[in-house]
Structure 1
Amino acid sequence: MPKVLISDKMSPLAAETFRQRGVQVDERPGLSKEELLEIIGEYDGLAIRSATKVTADVLAAAPGLKVIGRAGIGVDNVDVEAATAAGVCVMNTPFGNSITTAEHAIAMMMALARQIPQADRSTQAGKWEKSKFMGVEVTAKTLGIIGCGNIGSIVASRAQGLRMRVIAADPYLSVERAKEIGVEKVELDELYARSDFISLHTPLTDQTRNIIDAATIAKMKDGVRIINCARGGLVVEEDLRKALDDGKVAGAAIDVFLKEPAKENVLFGQPDVITTPHLGASTTEAQVNVALQVAEQMSDFLLDGAVSNALNMASVTAEEAPRLRPYIKLAEQLGGFMGQTLQSSIKTVRIAYQGRVAKLNVKPLSAVLLQNLLKHQMDSVNMVNAPVLAQDRGIHVVEERDETPGNYQTAIRLFVETENGARGIGGTLFAGDMPRIVEIDTISLEAEFGENMLFIRNLDKPGFIGRLGMLLGDAGVNIGTFHLGRANGNAVSFIEVDGPVPEAVLKQVAGLKDYVQRVHALRF
């Protein structure tokens, strides 16, 4: 009988579910790290929330551990890389608290509109300042949603019930999906200019970090109200405080902070700010939902080998794993390349398998491709939920197989249709297990992936390579390899560099207007 440790406080229904499924379970919330290290070696599974820290030394003390289940979304308290190296599956429950978080955002918006917390404090102090708290209606106001995924679309639905006009900015939201859920898709600058209320529902990525700062606030309506129940770090807190003090922003409702727990913060004490201590997922129903889900998922894994919402593994049998491993690496890199270079929302994804790979179980490969395509714009994307997230975004995914070899004995090609046109990338394996790019946007080249890469789409004109080399050299950026492909006056450059390229240098490269059409810094 498999044995699971529940080391954080969660609904008793989790333990009950384990026992009903035939899994032995111990409930030991509140263990110190030393106590956890002493006993973790006895268990096949570890069910946690946010308190238990699953570090490399905890994993090293648990040679029999097979699965870690996080009842909730975030896995910041789990060393996923170390777990992967140890062969431990890490699962979460990404959809268990979606409704709860969306409802909290709506509640914060209503409290902000009517200044309810401030009025409550005043009334309980015996002041009866009825004329002081003049609110605004939300009816007929425009709500701008930044990030219209699972939670954002629920917020949109609730806001529509309040008779609000809803607009959304999300590069992965298709026009068709926007129409389906009744929102108007717009670009960020238009959202800033039109919104009376702005609610954030995007993950924290390099693209979304500090998405609300002094520059973007300047683009907003005077008197805008801002709600953030998503992630700390999306808002530059100092800039928001200044805009509140100046009256540019009429109010803000903040549930998440750059540094948590937030015992002190620049926003505290500002009379037009409402704050809560990261309560987005804090309802009885949400806690029950994530506890039940994590118990079911872990039981399925331990008893039947089924994988759900895994962050670090695909659904692959023991027999398939050795053959699929190099293809999974290739799929990660092809999807990661496309995900880091797209600049508009995706309408269709077509994955074509040709030759030897078409004879294998390609479902996990497609999931890995989608995961790495989407992960730069979405939170908690994994091999299992990536197809669902794509469907939720209205992205049509097509999978094709052709067992007849073409130019290569085995090849994977990824084609993405966006609102701005079609993109494509193809790859193969050299020497059986070495991933290589063999074409980008129909231009042939052979290139190896490095940790830090520059991708440049440029005109095929004399002088480009020299100008680029001088620019990078003057900036102290060392080139490791340089791969060039060209066709019909256009070219692509795929360059390995020794470290991340500073943003200022990227702007300089983009400034080579006679040559460069676009440039992207990539990490693999």
Structure 2
Amino acid sequence: MAPRVLISDKLSPAAIQIFRDRGVEADFQPDLGKDKEKLAAVIGDYDGLAIRSATKVTPKILANAHRLKVIGRAGIGVDNVDIPAATAKGVIVMNTPFGNSITTAEHAIALMFAVAREIPAADVSTQAGKWEKNRFMGVEITSKTLGIIGCGNIGSIVAERAIGLKMRVIAFDPFLSPERAQDLGVEKVELDELFARADFITLHTPLTEKTRNVIDRQALFRMKKGVRIVNCARGGLVDEVALREALDAGHVAGAGFDVFVTEPAIENPLFGHPAVVCTPHLGAATSEAQENVALQVAEQMSDYLLRGAVSNAVNSPSITAEEAPRLRPFVALAEKLGSFAGQLTDSGVTAVRIEYEGLVAGMNTRALTSAAVTGLLKPLLADINMVSAPVIARERGIAIEEVLREDADTYDSVVRLTVTTDGLTRHVAGTVYADGKPRIIDIKGIEIEAAFGPSMLYVTNEDKPGYVGALGATLGAAGVNIATFNLGRAAEGGDAIAIVQIDGDIPDAVVAQVQALEHVKHARALRF
């Protein structure tokens, strides 16, 4: 029987035809996604669900999805899909991460021009018959300095366009290598320097806990007076209330926003200011982009349903059905080792070396490497997935090396991850026990045995008497309950490591208290 796909949002006729030409039964109901009850009632009859942004795939809908194998999102964002619930059901969630890149980059350039020359306000004035030629005194783009926050796929396209407009381009991106920056023709700088030098600032980074309000009140008033700010990335990267204050004060000369903290944006602090240009999240709204992502999602879903091929999945690497049961725990190990290193890395990554020893060396290490790189980069790049991770790493000039060894000394299989940054090299290794659960077995050459938990505290310290008691007392006084406690040291009295699994999240204030303890060198909260 041919697989059935429900298309619950508007998709181009060409995409629907791709399903049918490939032998997939496509049921096109473009308004169904707006009705959660009706969608929940019929979803059990389908193997695939193709959506845009109108359909919300909730746990309730997934609970009825008895046959569902894949959800395909025509676009990059998957905020309208409950990823954990889909994963628990074994449903692959795919997106099309690169189909909107040029369109979004062009919209950022368009907003920059609109803000620089006050085009929307001038249009309204002129069509009202006022002819206020002297009122709209703009600024040139040529020879101005453009600061790009986030120089990945979209940011690099903006950089190329801006250089073509004879702008000087500087970029802040922890994962942008010097070599990649040179290839693009941009100057890599720290964030404070970007704020101080840029005449225009454009944001092209995901919204994560590290990037939320990356432009706050303090940052705004560190910027050059007369700066103009463009955001076509995500609402929440800029403190909108603080930006309105800076606009009212005349410190910021203008802003162009396509995204907002709350959408649809019926009300917003930026609305009504004469120097602000706003659009209703139009970054991907061109006929070319909409067609591209629709065709891509139809091809990807067809490949998976008919051949088992997985591409651009946000919750699964490229793994065949035969190798999945054996490989799955090592995928979890690789991603967690990468996440461990990524959460401790604050500077640009230049190289990643992954060593596979023992039985794991004979497995699909490409999928494992993708998982490790995904974990490594995800703290700053929320939209990254196990398929796109190697591509994004190459775009950012990160060298990835795999080393395979058939023999392992102590364990049947060992995965070793070495991350090189601008300033240091970080090393961590792990294995999978017979129970299928991944463990850390080595950090920086110090042997330690620790299982991963949702919330962990990582501490490096000097091996001195009284430290363990002080750490336990500090956590206990703060009401933090310890689930597991693992220690390792290089030598008596030398460098030591503690990995503490915590019940619930550990507050930042408590981490600071641990950091302040005698003999502690570094303390960091980790989440997996």
TM-score range, shorter chain: over 0.9
Q: Structure 1 residue 193: deviation in Å?
A: 0.9
Cα deviation, 1:424-478, whole Å, max 9, x if unaligned, reads 1000123352311111112221112111011122333444333333333332222
Structure 2: distance between partners of 1:161 and 1:207: 31
User: 2:28 corresponds to which residue?
Assistant: 27
User: 2:499 corresponds to which residue?
Assistant: 494
User: 1:343 corresponds to which residue?
Assistant: 346
How large is the RMSD of aligned CA atoms in angstroms?
Answer: 1.4
User: 1:516 corresponds to which residue?
Assistant: 520
Of the three residues 392, 395, 400, the one matched with 2:398 is 395
User: 1:329 corresponds to which residue?
Assistant: 332
**1:210 maps to amino acid:** N
**2:14 maps to amino acid:** L
User: 1:438 corresponds to which residue?
Assistant: 441
Q: Structure 1 residue 397: deviation in Å?
A: 0.6
User: 2:129 corresponds to which residue?
Assistant: 126
**1:127 maps to amino acid:** K
Structure 2: distance between partners of 1:326 and 1:174: 32
User: 1:289 corresponds to which residue?
Assistant: 292
Structure 2: distance between partners of 1:289 and 1:238: 36
Structure 2: distance between partners of 1:470 and 1:165: 54
**2:15 maps to amino acid:** A
Change (3 A) 1:475 1:414: same
Structure 2: distance between partners of 1:302 and 1:414: 34
Change (3 A) 1:431 1:16: closer
With 298-307 and 496-505 compared, the bigger mean Cα shift is at 496-505
Q: Does 1:6 align with 2:10?
A: no
User: 1:201 corresponds to which residue?
Assistant: 204
Structure 2: distance between partners of 1:326 and 1:379: 22
Structure 2: distance between partners of 1:455 and 1:321: 31
Q: Is contact 2:455–2:527 with CA below 8 Å preserved after alignment?
A: yes
Q: Structure 1 residue 520: deviation in Å?
A: 1.6
User: 1:459 corresponds to which residue?
Assistant: 462
Structure 1: distance between partners of 2:514 and 2:116: 46
Q: Structure 1 residue 242: deviation in Å?
A: 0.6
**2:243 maps to amino acid:** L
Correspondence 1:56-205 to 2 at 5 A: 56-205=59-208
SS of structure 1 residue aligned to 2:428: strand
Structure 2: distance between partners of 1:376 and 1:11: 35
Q: Structure 1 residue 412: deviation in Å?
A: 0.5
**1:226 maps to amino acid:** I
SS of structure 2 residue aligned to 1:129: coil
User: 1:363 corresponds to which residue?
Assistant: 366
Change (3 A) 1:509 1:125: farther
Q: Structure 1 residue 80: deviation in Å?
A: 1.4
Cα deviation, 1:324-378, whole Å, max 9, x if unaligned, reads 1221221121111111111111111111011121122222111111111111111
Correspondence 1:255-266 to 2 at 5 A: 255-266=258-269
Q: Structure 1 residue 37: deviation in Å?
A: 2.4
Q: Structure 1 residue 408: deviation in Å?
A: 2.0
SS of structure 1 residue aligned to 2:442: strand
User: 1:506 corresponds to which residue?
Assistant: 511
Q: Does 1:237 align with 2:240?
A: yes
With 201-210 and 80-89 compared, the bigger mean Cα shift is at 80-89
SS of structure 1 residue aligned to 2:298: helix
Structure 2: distance between partners of 1:196 and 1:518: 38
Moved over 6 A (4+): none
**1:208 maps to amino acid:** T
**1:522 maps to amino acid:** L
With 311-320 and 469-478 compared, the bigger mean Cα shift is at 469-478
Q: Structure 1 residue 502: deviation in Å?
A: 1.7
Q: Does 1:272 align with 2:299?
A: no
Correspondence 1:244-255 to 2 at 5 A: 244-255=247-258
With 254-263 and 451-460 compared, the bigger mean Cα shift is at 451-460
Structure 2: distance between partners of 1:219 and 1:473: 40
Q: Structure 1 residue 174: deviation in Å?
A: 0.9
With 498-507 and 400-409 compared, the bigger mean Cα shift is at 498-507
SS of structure 2 residue aligned to 1:353: strand
User: 1:420 corresponds to which residue?
Assistant: 423
**1:118 maps to amino acid:** A
With 54-63 and 338-347 compared, the bigger mean Cα shift is at 54-63
Cα deviation, 1:62-104, whole Å, max 9, x if unaligned, reads 2111111000011111111111121211100000000000000
Cα deviation, 1:33-60, whole Å, max 9, x if unaligned, reads 2222232222211110000111122222
**1:96 maps to amino acid:** G
Identity of aligned residues (%): 63
Structure 1: distance between partners of 2:521 and 2:141: 43
With 327-336 and 415-424 compared, the bigger mean Cα shift is at 327-336
How high is the TM-score relative to the length of structure 2? 0.96
**1:223 maps to amino acid:** G
Structure 2: distance between partners of 1:434 and 1:96: 37
Q: Is contact 2:111–2:256 with CA below 8 Å preserved after alignment?
A: yes
**2:497 maps to amino acid:** V
SS of structure 1 residue aligned to 2:27: strand
Of the three residues 300, 313, 318, the one matched with 1:310 is 313
Structure 1: distance between partners of 2:305 and 2:433: 36
Q: Which runs of 5+ in 2 are unaligned?
A: none
Q: Structure 1 residue 172: deviation in Å?
A: 0.9
Structure 2: distance between partners of 1:116 and 1:241: 20
Structure 1: distance between partners of 2:218 and 2:388: 35
Q: Is contact 2:309–2:320 with CA below 8 Å preserved after alignment?
A: no
Structure 1: distance between partners of 2:354 and 2:192: 33
Q: Structure 1 residue 218: deviation in Å?
A: 2.1
Structure 2: distance between partners of 1:365 and 1:47: 28
Q: Which runs of 5+ in 1 are unaligned?
A: none
With 193-202 and 489-498 compared, the bigger mean Cα shift is at 489-498
